[in-house]
Amino acid sequence: MKTKELSIIIYNIVVILSVMYATQPLQPLLAKEFDVSIVKSSQFTAVIMLFLAIAPIIYGYILERVNAKRVLLIASVILAITNTCLAFSSSYEMFLTIRTIEAMVIPAILTSSMSILANIDKINVKLNMSIYVASTVFGGLVGRVFSGYIASTFGWQMVFLSLSFASIIGLFLITRLRFDAQAHLTKATIKDITHILRDKRFTVIYLLMFSIFFVFVGVLNILPFRLKELDPTTSESQIGLLYLGYGIGIVVSLYIHRIINFFNKEMRAILFGIAIFLISTTLYIVENPLIIFLNVFLFCLGMFIVHTVSTRIANSLKESQKSLTSGMYLSFYYIGGTVGSIIPPMFYQLYGWDETIYLCMFLLFIIFIFVYLNRKIFKAYN
């Protein structure tokens, strides 16, 4: 394994995911700073989710392939500039426009990073992909926790200046990367997409992940506002600590083989994950901040079991067109996240916390029944 190259890619993935999720614990603060609603402040995360959903397909039509190292270099420059500009944003419109620019480059960075990890050591591709997943989870954790701490201690502007500095370090590291291969992008056609969706197994997996990520992003987006509602003195640093439970995803991604072996069948593991996710979603009704904090660990455990096992199944159902089936999986996943960044905050603003949780519980109950009734079509892959 090329340890140097692997370390450089992991560092940059962590930076990118930190950029993605840094705004989440800051949403109440940014909503107050720019005098906007909960729904509008949630769009700082939603815009990146949207581009992650549509960019792989759009980019596939614009570019057949890209030089992975060059993409990482250009993107690091853009992120260093945009995060500096975010720190000096004086209006909601300016902040959202800059986040949109970041959203346009992040999918290309993740695609290039995955391509490099898949090619630097072809003997350990599966291990590298597990490291990729663990790195994205760790990046999401770092972005949420440290942005809360930095905002409380030094101000929200320093969050984005520190991310800009991290991008500059990443730029320096990428110049030392010994890799010059091409990253191939997916070019989907309507015929290819409809052919895949005719296979009910893909439909089940795609709808499952749309629903799971809808609830996951929706709840985590409005959770900072809920904590402020329960205790107005809650600081951004305390809100950031709320996301420590996200780290359970690292453990799940690295030990997923043992989890599946424990249940003997992959679909059993998925149903168990949905059940845990539903139970933990229900527990958010409790008004005790400590219980809410502990519940995030259970919430993330259920989500990451479903997500990690579903990814394995989606990538094993079809020998051909693996890049397309994986791309469609991520599109459904992030579309769910995009809609989850908008609908639950709207519901919360109109009807309140409990009603929003009831909505999420209802959706999870429906998807649990749907997956359970269709579990037998996956028998060959159990």
**DSSP result, 300-311:** HHHHHHHHHHHH
Contact predicate 299/277, CB 8 Å: yes
Digit-coded pLDDT (tens) for 197-238: 888 888 999 999 999 999 999 999 999 999 999 999 999 999
- Please identify, among 187, 203, 238, the residue that sits at the C-terminal boundary of a domain: 187
HEC readout, 146-215: HHHHHHHHHCHHHHHHHHHHHHHHHHHHHHCCCCCCEEECCCCCHHHHHHHHCCHHHHHHHHHHHHHHHH
Domain boundary among 163, 187, 211: 187
Q: How far apart are CA 251 and CA 224, in angstroms?
A: 25
Same domain? 171 vs 201: no
| 136 shares its domain with 207 | no
Residue 359 tokens, joined: 């909505």
Note the pTM of the prediction, 2 decimals: 0.89
320 lies in the same domain as 288? yes
Co-location of 147 and 197 in the same domain = no
Together in a domain, 214 and 339: yes
Which has the higher per-residue pLDDT, 240 or 317?
240
Query: Of 115, 37, 57, 11, which is closest to residue 345 (Cα–Cα)?
Result: 37
Same domain, 99 and 158: yes
Pair of tokens at residue 94: 């300016």
Percent of the chain with pLDDT over 90: 59
pLDDT-derived band of residue 11, with 50, 70 and 90 as boundaries?
Answer: very high
Range of the domain at 338: 189-382
**Judging by beta carbons within 10 Å of its beta carbon (0-12, 13-18, 19+), is residue 290 exposed, middle or buried?**
exposed
207 and 176, same structural domain?
A: no
Average pLDDT of span 259-267? 89
84 or 255, which is more confident:
84
Give tens-digit pLDDT for 328-362: 888 899 999 999 999 999 999 999 999 999 999 99
Q: Does one domain contain both 36 and 57?
A: yes
Residue with tokens 């052919």: 195
User: Is the predicted pLDDT of residue 1 greater than 60, yes or no?
Assistant: no
Q: What mean pLDDT do residues 140-164 have? A: 94
| Domain identity same for 243 and 366 | yes
Regarding whether 179 and 40 lie in a shared domain, the answer is: yes
**Co-location of 324 and 251 in the same domain:** yes
Q: What are the two backbone dihedrals, phi and then psi, of residue 240, each rounded to the nearest 5 degrees? A: -60, -40
Domain count, the chain: 2
CA gap 92, 158 in Å, rounded: 18
Closest CA to 248 of 281, 207, 213, 294: 294
Write down the mean pLDDT value for the chain.
87
Residue 183: band (very low, low, confident or very high) from pLDDT cuts 50, 70, 90: low
CATH number of the domain enclosing 279: 1.20.1250.20
For 121, the token pair is 């050591």
Out of 166, 187, 208, a domain closes at 187
